[in-house]
A and B are shown apart, each in its own frame.
Chain A
Amino acid sequence: MGASNFTEGVDLAFKVIFGISLFFLVGITTVMLYFVFRYSRKRHPKAVQIKDNNILEITWITIPLILVLLMFYYGYVAFRPMRDVPMDAIPITVIGKMWVWSFEYEGGKLSPVLVVPINKPVKLNLHSDDVIHSLYIPAFRIKEDVVPGKKNYMWFVAQQLGEYDVLCTVYCGLRHSYMETKTKVVSEAEYAAFLKALPEKTNEPEGLAILKKNACTGCHSIDGSKIVSASFKGLYGREEKVVTGGKERSVTVDDAYIKSSVYDPDKDVVAGYQKGIMKPYKGIVTEDEMIKIIDYFKSIK
């Protein structure tokens, strides 16, 4: 039995196509090499001119045509059920974000690993916040793109207990090749236990959680009020007067500026504030975290 309900059908289509192909590859290559050997100039100094043969042409148009239609048919038959989701499928929302997968279960509970019960249809609703990703579970033979602004889906029935790779196959930037996780196929009892153990949903955006973790919110408010320094609210996209190397200039708060202000705060200090109050967070806040922080800033413009 295949790892999913689709595995066998897809593999059969592969076998049919590869089988026919291999037959022709070996056949044509053998005939070709035989001709090269048999009719080499040494053995066959004078070529025999042969007239075109319409029956032959029609034969080798018709036979490949029938064979490719057969291949089309096998591909179609194994594919068609992938688009018909059973009514009782368990819905799970997949969230693809540069460069992490997360899986949202009922009640908005999030898991970094896709855990599914065995022998139950599961529907994955695909959601992206940024660019196109593609959810690929090789063992299940399924893949569908996760497109921002588009409601794509896929489904399967896992038929074997175990752990399987989950990968991203549409190039999505810097850490594309690290956007991977696992699918765990478990018994129904374990699945119930897993759901119960999932932490309750917190509504806090990831960026805010990172800011809190690094105690940024100790000096910068998120509601527009002034604690020590400027509030994060309305910061993104604003024009600011800054002092760079003793000279005043005007900048727009964008990704690059935010990054430089976190990693090297004293380079451009906003006019009216002092140098040396904030420590550089280079090596503390990672690039990935930086992107989430910036996303969060954009959300509280």
Chain B
Amino acid sequence: MTEEKTHHPEPSFLVDTGKYKGLMAWLTTTDHKRIGLMYMYAMMVFFTVGVTLGMLMRLELFYPGQQFYGPQVYNGIFTIHGIIMIFTVVIPGLAAVFGNFSMPIMIGAKDVAFPRLNLFSFYLYILGAAIALASQFMGNGPPDTGWTFYAPYSIHTHTNVVAAVFGAFVLGFSSILTGLNFIVTMHRLRAPGMTFFKMPLFPWSLYATAWIQVLATPIVGITLLMIIAERWLRIGFFDPSLGGDPILYQHLFWIYSHPAVYIMILPAMGVITEIIPTFTQKKIFGYKAIAISSLAIALVGYFVWAHHMYTSGMSTTARWVFSLLTFLVAVPSAIKVFNWVATMYKGSISVKPPFLFALGFIFLFMIGGMTGLSLGALATNIHVHDTAYVVAHFHYIVFGGVGFAFFAAVYYWYPKMFGRMYNFKMANWSFVFLFTGFNLLYFPQFIIGIMGMPRRYFDYLPQFTLGQQLSFFGGVLLVTGFIIMLITLFSKKGAKAPDNPWGGRTYEWTIPSPPPQENFDVMPEMGLDEQPYDYK
């Protein structure tokens, strides 16, 4: 561990030194660290909104029949819950927050390649989110299509679909520009001597992610515009009554939205790959295998989209080809899990909160991945497709996976961000509640899904009552854990954090906490015999 320095020649990035002070200094900043933090605050707000909507659904589903509100309200709630959680929380997610905050430091850069574009991406993000939220209050009532906007229902419904779709379109641009920025940053701004295969693995995962953002997002952009054109101009792309094809919509939608799952999960895997070496004090096992598996996931991930459509009436050939490809993408994910566990072998393991969350991530991600296998297989998919089983599966991936990795990342980089520690005991309690609550909330959904409970149901048959009620109690525990976590992090100032509280080996731990504005006093260089994760 490095000794805490007493004099920092440069002021920290949290100190306003420019033309503006206070809020304006933040809103006009081009510092990647400040932009990362602004994404984090915005996401915490959206996440809280999303969780609240989720709990409103769980409350209504506590008993069969109508309890508190009617089906139209329910349909609006699950739609906006999905839009907020997918488009404003998990898709930008780790890349926007920690990609911005940590990645440039980890590769030894002063900032991203295009700092102004970075700020612009943030404003597009806020604008898109604002439009999506405004769809709730304008026009003919909240959109009720689900976040998937399936045609022809999305063409027929009278609710305010256009605003929601346009919001998602704008958010897509934010994502594309961030991806572009990161690709250029990693190509052009790595420290001298840091070849691609000496780059830390979180940046590696962001690199794979960024290519998906740049190449796949435009497809959903144009698809969403086609919906608007169809609603306003009556051009028949998807609606059969206008001569369109509803299955075409599903193809276009999933060509983006399946790779989008990897936009969410790859940075999460990257974060875990940073945390495990640090807390085991060991060189990551299988560096190249992990780096290449990120690219493999990004690449194969493009060719599996139609596994969302096995029951749509596609040809039998298309069904088995997509099923086979889907199974191939499972392998690189398995490789990562094996390498993480192998890294722990003969390590010197310190179970601090970030590591605890990383362990939680691995367990939940395994369940999420393995339950995905029966969705990838044809016969079993036919049975559980569009049921609560799918709801459970993707929550295990995007919440158990991305969410827990996000929490792990917050606990990991928080001392670096604010120069303060937090109470470990409280942080561990937040894990206990989040982990228990999560499993109690989503595991019963697997079971009622296999029993035949369809998704997006306002009301349900009596045999599913017990499962729904367990889920409600799980939700209560989960929310409690989330509140404990917020209290841990934001209620009072912790002790001053040293530069390297965990004994990490990447560049962010060589600079002060919080970092100075341009990160490095002396720009780092990587020697020929130096390797990433060089633990002695």
A-side interface residues toward B, CB under 8 Å?
A: 6, 9-10, 13-14, 17-18, 21, 24-25, 28-29, 31-32, 35-36, 39-41, 44-50, 52, 56-57, 60-61, 64-65, 68-69, 71-72, 74-80, 82-83, 130-132, 134, 136, 138-139, 141-145, 147-150, 152, 165, 167-178, 180, 255-256
CB neighbors of A among B306-352 (8 A): 311-313, 316, 319-320, 323-324, 327-328, 330-331, 334-335, 337-339, 341-342, 344-351
CB-defined contacts of A170 to chain B, threshold 8 Å: 150, 386
7 A-B contact pairs sorted by A residue (CB < 8 Å): A17-B374, A134-B386, A143-B385, A170-B150, A174-B75, A176-B71, A176-B458
Contact A78 B373 (CB under 8 A): no
CB-defined contacts of B285 to chain A, threshold 8 Å: 50, 52
Segment with Cβ contacts to A, from B222-230, B360-368, B435-443? B360-368
Q: How far is the CA of A138 from the CA of B447 in the complex (A)?
A: 13
CB-defined contacts of B344 to chain A, threshold 8 Å: 32, 35-36, 39
Contact B454 A167 (CB under 8 A): yes
CB-defined contacts of B455 to chain A, threshold 8 Å: 169, 171
Q: State the majority secondary structure of interface residues on B.
A: helix
* 9 closest Cβ pairs, A-B complex: A75-B377, A138-B452, A149-B240, A78-B379, A79-B378, A21-B370, A169-B386, A177-B457, A152-B313
Contact A28 B337 (CB under 8 A): yes
Q: How far is the CA of A139 from the CA of B283 in the complex (A)?
A: 51
Contact A41 B348 (CB under 8 A): yes
Q: Is B26 an interface residue (CB 8 A)?
A: no
Contact A138 B451 (CB under 8 A): yes
Minimal beta-carbon separation of A66 from chain B (angstroms):
10
Q: Is B383 an interface residue (CB 8 A)?
A: yes
Partner of B349, one of A13, A39, A142, A152: A39
Contact B313 A150 (CB under 8 A): yes
CB neighbors of A among B236-277 (8 A): 240-241, 245-247
Contact B379 A13 (CB under 8 A): yes
Contact A10 B382 (CB under 8 A): yes
Partner of B153, one of A74, A132, A141: A132
Q: How far is the CA of A21 from the CA of B150 in the complex (A)?
A: 32
Minimal beta-carbon separation of A266 from chain B (angstroms):
23
Contact A132 B152 (CB under 8 A): yes
Q: Is B459 an interface residue (CB 8 A)?
A: yes
CB-defined contacts of A150 to chain B, threshold 8 Å: 240, 246-247, 313
Q: How far is the CA of A176 from the CA of B78 in the complex (A)?
A: 13
Interface size class of B (residues with CB under 8 A): 35 or more
Assuming the A-B contacts A41-B350, A52-B288, A177-B459, are A35 and B345 also in contact, with contact meaning beta carbons closer than 8 angstroms in the complex? Answer: yes
CB-defined contacts of B101 to chain A, threshold 8 Å: none
Contact B454 A168 (CB under 8 A): yes
Assuming the A-B contacts A44-B346, A44-B349, A152-B313, are A173 and B454 also in contact, with contact meaning beta carbons closer than 8 angstroms in the complex? Answer: no
Contact B156 A143 (CB under 8 A): no
CB-defined contacts of B338 to chain A, threshold 8 Å: 28, 60
Minimal beta-carbon separation of A59 from chain B (angstroms):
9
CB-defined contacts of A141 to chain B, threshold 8 Å: 379, 382-383
A32 closest partner in B (C-beta):
B341
Q: Is B157 an interface residue (CB 8 A)?
A: yes
Partner of B331, one of A13, A64, A132: A64
Minimal beta-carbon separation of A277 from chain B (angstroms):
29
Contact B380 A13 (CB under 8 A): yes
Q: How far is the CA of A131 from the CA of B382 in the complex (A)?
A: 20
Contact A134 B311 (CB under 8 A): yes
CB-defined contacts of A83 to chain B, threshold 8 Å: 316
Q: Is B8 an interface residue (CB 8 A)?
A: no
Assuming the A-B contacts A39-B344, A173-B144, are A82 and B382 also in contact, with contact meaning beta carbons closer than 8 angstroms in the complex? Answer: yes
Contact B349 A36 (CB under 8 A): yes
Assuming the A-B contacts A18-B374, A131-B153, A148-B152, are A61 and B316 also in contact, with contact meaning beta carbons closer than 8 angstroms in the complex? Answer: no
Q: Given A14-B450, A131-B156, A147-B247, 18 more contacts at CB 8 Å?
A: A10-B383, A21-B371, A28-B366, A47-B281, A48-B282, A48-B346, A49-B282, A52-B287, A60-B334, A69-B327, A71-B373, A75-B378, A77-B379, A139-B452, A150-B313, A171-B146, A177-B71, A177-B456
